[in-house]
Amino acid sequence: MEFELRPWQSNDLNDLMAAANNYRIAQFMTDSFAHPYTRESGEKFLAWTQNNCPSKMLAIIVEGKAVGNVGIHPQGDILCKNAEIGYWIAEEYWGRGIMTEAIKRMIPIAFETYPITRIFGRVFGHNIPSQKVIEKAGFKLEGSFEKTIFKNGEFIDELIYAFRK
């Protein structure tokens, strides 16, 4: 399926709210990803993305509609040569290869934009589809940590994948 990556725009708010307001997405995200995903949540996110230049967060656009996000989060201090990748896509687009391809497109953007040598992704241990997506994008499993994530009142295993320059 064809798609494009571009910076988020203010007029993406309704698409963002429609795509992000899904517990099946939120359950695998950090707690900063709101559920329910309200207008206020969307407005805060869009304001944040527009105040960061170059943009660290790119909208995934399918047929003119924002349906997901792929983002790069450069680290600081002793991890300054690393950046974390985060991603999500509306449920109706799961299993179509879009997310894997979006991650692949983001890798050169990240390496060209930031002075990094490693991009890593943290995946919930029971999120098999996300593991498959990041592996298909060329990331290698670097570590598995038992019960390090605390989400919705339970401890969850964490997998760390990385792509090195």
Please tell me the pTM assigned to this model: 0.94
Q: How many independent structural domains does the chain possess?
A: 1
Q: Give the Cα separation of 118 and 4 in Å (integer).
A: 24
Q: Which residues pair with 161 in a beta bridge?
A: 121, 141
Q: Tokens for 62?
A: 């399918």
When mean pLDDT is compared across 16-20, 53-57, 126-130, the lowest value belongs to: 53-57
E strands in 23-93: 57-62, 65-74, 82-89
DSSP state of 137: T
Domain hosting 73: range is 4-164
- Give pLDDT tens digits for 112-133: 999 999 999 999 999 999 999 9
CATH code for the domain of 99: 3.40.630.30
Contact 120, 82 (CB under 8 A): yes
- State the pLDDT at residue 51: 84
Q: How many CA atoms lie within 13 A of 159 on its CB side?
A: 17
